[in-house]
Amino acid sequence: MMVTKGSTTAVNLRGLLFIEPRRPEQGPPVIDSLTRRMAAAMQHAVPGTWQGGHFNSSDGWMGWHTCACGATSDNHDYLLANGMVTNSLCVHYLAQHRLDVPQDELRKVLALPYEEAQPTWEQLHPKKLCKTATGWRFE
């Protein structure tokens, strides 16, 4: 599937790793074959928004998603070449919240048609929204 900038694609898109971990992040990040496969997939992902079955690659959301640990997503969904749509926290979920990733999602990651890649520092350490005495700020 080819996706070009600004196009809207209506194919049979499926969500990947739209999860809400409940536990705080684990200790050191888990960087195994699953995490690396997801990182490789993200190198080729197209940012946009996924809504009502359509993916609009020229679009972004007005807000972001916040993980249980405070890590925040960016304002895009990401379209992968196999028709799956994920979010910018996907690598973070696999690396730091593996115990909260359902088996079904792990199977989808295993089936991604990509080799493996080293996750980026940003993927492993997303910006966190923290409450301070004066309000909320990013760390």
Where along the sequence are the contacts to Zn ion (CB under 5 A)?
A: 67, 69, 71
What's the min distance (Å) between Cβ of 128 and Zn ion?
Answer: 8
CB of 13 or CB of 29, closer to Zn ion: 29
What's the min distance (Å) between Cβ of 106 and Zn ion?
Answer: 17
CB of 41 or CB of 67, closer to Zn ion: 67
Per-residue DSSP letter, 72: B
- Could you give the CA distance from residue 90 to residue 18 in angstroms, rounded to a whole number? 8
Nearest Cα residue to 105 out of 29, 49, 38: 38
CB of 31 or CB of 81, closer to Zn ion: 31
What's the min distance (Å) between Cβ of 101 and Zn ion?
Answer: 11
Q: Exposed, middle or buried by CB within 10 Å (0-12, 13-18, 19+), for 133?
A: exposed
